[in-house]
Structure 1
Amino acid sequence: MDFLALADFNLVARHGGFGRAARESGRPKATLSRRVADLESELGLRLLERGARTLKLTEEGRALYERTSVLLTEIDETAAEIASGGQAPRGRLRVSAPLLFSQAAMGKLAARFALKHGEVQLEVTTEDRAVDMVEEGYDVVIRVNPDPDAQLVGRIFLRDRLVVVASPTLARPAGKAPVPAVLREGGTGDETVTWEMRSRSGTKRIAAKPVLRLSSLFMVRDAARAGVGAARLPLSLVTHDLRAGKLTLWGDVEGPEIALWALYPSRRLLSARVSAFLDFLKEAFPTGSPEELASFID
């Protein structure tokens, strides 16, 4: 297979067309078109569907792009590192992180990483959905309790847990009477929900009657501070308030712990910039405790 033709095909696929690829690379459009056609002829496959105004990958073209784009990037990076005489991290690093972690810590973390690794162009996207790392071009994805994925590997760098908290002005539950609650979850109406929690006196179930439903855990925390109702929140988010007496701890929520993972494609050689970012997370959270995350929260 012609390596240069494969590289030109990846260039066109990445930019979504011959014209844009030519402008971005400074290569003649006709040259790119000819090389891609030569590659199609060599493989006996159509890789691109060419319309009057649009161009898109065929199923075979998409498979070829997904399997070779990462390898070509690694080859370019390796050549650059060898030429520079070192393994200093450099280049673009795209990270996807969940909303709460981003709001709590990612701004400060990104700034510290940029100051430490000035040759890395860090880009952080905040979203809770499951992104396609290869298709969307992410180097690292941070996720909470992710489902197993054979295509990804990673490590836990932070652990947290849910607790039930309330303002000191709100009476603790007595008997079966429901307590007012602030929720961050779907649903409508004021139907009562059941919370199961552990405290010093043992496991207990309480009835929680929603009085507010909010889309942000920071909003839920602020409402709980104001005494509107009890709330289930990550310990890291309320550590300062518990110490200051703005909130009181009713108990730990029964259920699995919250584990934050840093994930990356298993088939990809670990680049210097990805390795640097993973090491940076380890330095920022050496024990991975909720209190370490709380130190980033104002």
Structure 2
Amino acid sequence: MDLLALADFNLVARHGGFGKAARAAGRPKATLSRRVAELEASLGLRLFERGARDLKLTEEGRALSGRTTVLLTEIDETAAAIASGGGRPRGRLRISAPLLFSQMAMGRLAAAFALKYPEIRLEVTTEDRAVDMIEEGCDLAIRVNPDPDEALVGRIFLHDRLVVAASPLLARPAGDVAVPAVIRGAADRTTAWTVTTRMGPASIPIDPVLCLSSLVMVRDAVRAGVGAGRLPVSLVGHDLSAGTLVHWGDIEESNITVWALYPSRRLLSARVSAFLDHLKAAFPTGSPDELAAYIVA
């Protein structure tokens, strides 16, 4: 495949038209049109739908652009690094991270990374949905217990688990009496929490008195004594150690894994490798207590 023609195709795709691309690059419009037509002919695919006024990528064009834009950037950056005699990672690194992890740790992680790699322009977006990394141009995604995805590879860098915690002032009811509970999300229809204690398995009937949309909000309400809550160890570890919350038991089968994912069809860039090493340095063992300590450090 002609890399120059591929670069011209991505230039036109990025600017949304031959005229805009030609003006931005200072290149003849006719040259760009010819190079894209030659690329389409060599692939046997139509990459653009050409209308009277606009130009739109076909499905094949979007796929080609998504999979080659980063590769071409890597080639340019590698050539620039070799030419300048430097090997430090540089360029843009775009990361998607879930809300809770972002609130707990991402600000500190990102700041330390930016200081260590000043030539990398780090962009972090916070969202709990599973982003389409290729379509949305993400280099790395941090996800909690992600569904299997053949298009992605990655590694676990943190483990966590859920516990039931409550204020020391909240008495734990005996028998079948329901305890006031703070839950996350209106869709949670649970009527009891099954926990493991030193005495063995136990069931805690609950009466949801407060429904909140984030675990940080749930923790704060539990601290205030409104009710018991089901929370990650990493979020309440400091409170449990300090005695401001008490541990009522571990939620059964609540193993939580936090993954760093990236598209397997891309070359692993130096920027992604650097951030993966940064995560490993921040959480060497990946334990819940380690994340809890990192948050309050």
Q: CA deviation at 1:267?
A: 2.3
**Secondary structure in structure 1 of the residue aligned to 2:204:** strand
Q: How many residue pairs are counted as aligned between the two chains?
A: 296
Give, in whole Å, the separation in 2 of the partners of 1:241 and 1:25.
57
Q: Does residue 285 of structure 1 match 2:258?
A: no
Identify which range, 197-206 or 59-68, moves more after superposition: 59-68
* TM-score, normalised via structure 2 length: 0.93
* TM-score, normalised via structure 1 length: 0.92
Contact 2:194–2:202 (CA under 8 A) maintained in structure 1 = yes
Identity of aligned residues (%): 74
Q: Does residue 137 of structure 1 match 2:131?
A: no
Superposed CA deviations along residues 105-146 of structure 1, whole A, max 9, x for unmatched, are: 101110000000000000001011111111111111110111
Which residue identity is paired with 2:193?
Answer: W
Identify which range, 26-35 or 250-259, moves more after superposition: 26-35
Gaps in structure 1 of 5+ consecutive residues: none
Q: CA deviation at 1:54?
A: 3.4
Which residue identity is paired with 1:206?
Answer: I
**Secondary structure in structure 2 of the residue aligned to 1:276:** helix
Q: Following superposition of structure 1 onto structure 2, how do residues 1-298 of structure 1 map, counting pairs within 5 Å?
A: 1-22=1-22, 24-187=24-187, 193-298=191-296
Give, in whole Å, the separation in 2 of the partners of 1:107 and 1:53.
44
**Secondary structure in structure 2 of the residue aligned to 1:297:** helix
**Secondary structure in structure 1 of the residue aligned to 2:207:** strand
4+ residue runs over 6 A deviation: none
**Structure 2 CA distance for partners of 1:42 and 1:132, relative to 1, 3 Å:** same
Give, in whole Å, the separation in 2 of the partners of 1:119 and 1:161.
37
**Structure 2 CA distance for partners of 1:277 and 1:192, relative to 1, 3 Å:** closer
**Structure 2 CA distance for partners of 1:147 and 1:218, relative to 1, 3 Å:** same
**Structure 2 CA distance for partners of 1:176 and 1:254, relative to 1, 3 Å:** same
Contact 2:49–2:55 (CA under 8 A) maintained in structure 1 = yes
Superposed CA deviations along residues 1-48 of structure 1, whole A, max 9, x for unmatched, are: 432111110122234333443455444444333322332344443211
**Structure 2 CA distance for partners of 1:27 and 1:290, relative to 1, 3 Å:** farther
**Secondary structure in structure 1 of the residue aligned to 2:110:** helix
Give, in whole Å, the separation in 2 of the partners of 1:186 and 1:207.
17
Q: CA deviation at 1:65?
A: 2.2
Identify which range, 159-168 or 260-269, moves more after superposition: 260-269
Superposed CA deviations along residues 170-212 of structure 1, whole A, max 9, x for unmatched, are: 1113100110100002338xx7611111111111111111101
Give, in whole Å, the separation in 2 of the partners of 1:233 and 1:81.
46
